[in-house]
Amino acid sequence: MAATAEVPYYYASLDFEALWREFPPPPSYFDTTYRKSADEIRALQNHRLKQQVARCGEIPFYQRHWRQAGIKPGDVQTVDDLRKLPSFAVSDLRDSIDRAPPFGDYMGVDPKNGPPTPWVMQTSGGTTGLPRPILYTPRDREVTGILGARRLFMAGIRAGDLVQTTHSLGLSNAGLSTREAVWKYSGAVPVMTGSGASTPTRQQIEIAKAWKIRALIGFPAYLRHMALVARDEMKIDPREMSVRIIGTHLGTDDRRELEELWNAKVYDSYGANEAGMMAADCSERNGMHIFEDTHFIEIVDPETGAAVPEGQRGTVYVTCLFKHAAPMIRFNINDVSAFASGTCACGGTHRRIQGIFGRSDNMVKLRGVNVFPEAIGTLLGGDKRTTGEYLCVVEPSGPSSREEMTVMIETSDGSVEKGAVQAHYERRFKDALGVKMTVQVVDRGALDQLTGLTRTSKIKRLIDKRKK
């Protein structure tokens, strides 16, 4: 090994103080950027967008897509111009990896041949095939740590608190990025138990109890499982434990149920390995504030790509305003959300999204109305007459082959009067979703085989018989 070989030390790789002025961590973020006027935020976004677009002009993935669309980087001056640019999806990232293995041509960096840099690599959660990698420069990584810490601060986590994280600690970014956010930028203490595969659930509970954990971070299904193991198997009442804050990505899960199990407040958040933490609940928990100095979010009709009005559901496109490696411009992240309206009592000025209602490739256009099957689940939540399990079936029907959706829902036990449940939900779905559907009420467990509930974690909510 040559004595002159250069080792790029992390601490020397970055002007940290300049970075913190640009992207304030808590608590200063909440006195500054968080309260900027809409015009100030827009100006900052336009400034950062131009830098990102110029950066993308150097990256083969974007050169190819934008050339095909007849766009030059100079055509984009403001966030309003973004709509001129093509969006891309996960399938395009996979295609990029096939073209330029092993890491694709979307990152614009090369650890082997580029300038010496202390890289770190994390991946998407990926369920099939190889996970999708993202390389982080020190600057990219620090910004994601700052964003994670803003989310923790908004949930009330403060210096000295113990924060137990139940995300897996491996390639998938959720666990390690939480550790960095807690450790570097919140003053709290990360307690990295990892998932149930790293630390058995019973031990997780013993740790939380003995060490007086104040905040739990994890996915709703696992945190619910933890509470039930504590309560039903270990005879430890989770409500009596010291956990008062739960940080999670709720999706369509039931916030109230999780809060009651733990006697804790649940704070929703929205992040992805490709983009970092994009939005999080504030103290009001009335929609997640987007971190608008680092992300520009569009919500569009999945079919037409046109922006939907405030309050209406559509698919999320994200544009990152801070990245060097793997910048993201109009990434169709395939999640469904809607902008929340009105101002927020917390004093934060950044726009809010209502939550994540499901995957947009599940959307059904039913007689001109966009219907997301996961929205049905939300409407069933908390009704003791049903198990909460449901399945939507779409098929052509009648002489005109008009498209009809049947929603199958399960009763919780044999004593429930099915006719009343059917009438209630036919009315409810029509009122809430704006289109008529047929409800078919079935016995508990009858949908197991169709949804895959007892066999797989990938639960099926839609059977579309229109597709041959």
Q: Return the number of the residue (344 or 459) whose C-beta is nearest Zn ion.
A: 344
Min CB(289)–Zn ion separation in Å: 5
Min CB(379)–Zn ion separation in Å: 26
Residues in the interface with Zn ion (CB under 5 A) total 5
Mark the segment that binds Zn ion (CB under 5 A) among 145-153, 158-166, 215-223, 344-352.
344-352
Give the one residue of 22, 206, 284, 383 binding Zn ion; rule: CB under 5 A: 284
Q: Return the number of the residue (288 or 356) whose C-beta is nearest Zn ion.
A: 288
Give the one residue of 346, 379, 393, 459 binding Zn ion; rule: CB under 5 A: 346
Q: Return the number of the residue (94 or 285) whose C-beta is nearest Zn ion.
A: 285
CA distance 445 to 14: 56
Min CB(34)–Zn ion separation in Å: 9
| Interaction residues for Zn ion, span 202-231 (CB under 5 A) | none
Q: Return the number of the residue (234 or 344) whose C-beta is nearest Zn ion.
A: 344
Mark the segment that binds Zn ion (CB under 5 A) among 29-37, 48-56, 346-354, 361-369.
346-354
Q: What are phi and psi of 430, to 5 degrees?
A: -60, -45
CA distance 85 to 68: 10
Q: Return the number of the residue (258 or 282) whose C-beta is nearest Zn ion.
A: 282
Min CB(388)–Zn ion separation in Å: 29
Q: Binding of Zn ion at residue 340 (CB under 5 A)?
A: no
Site track for Zn ion across 230-269, x = CB under 5 A = ----------------------------------------
Min CB(335)–Zn ion separation in Å: 21
Mark the segment that binds Zn ion (CB under 5 A) among 130-138, 181-189, 338-346, 381-389.
338-346
Mark the segment that binds Zn ion (CB under 5 A) among 11-19, 35-43, 227-235, 336-344.
336-344
Q: With contact defined as beta carbons under 8 Å apart, do 258 and 246 qualify?
A: yes
Give the one residue of 282, 321, 338, 447 binding Zn ion; rule: CB under 5 A: 282
CA distance 419 to 439: 10
- Whether the link from the prior residue into 26 is cis, omega within 30° of 0, is no
Q: Binding of Zn ion at residue 325 (CB under 5 A)?
A: no
Q: Return the number of the residue (282 or 318) whose C-beta is nearest Zn ion.
A: 282
Q: Return the number of the residue (190 or 247) whose C-beta is nearest Zn ion.
A: 247
**Interacting residues with Zn ion (CB under 5 A):** 282, 284, 344, 346, 348
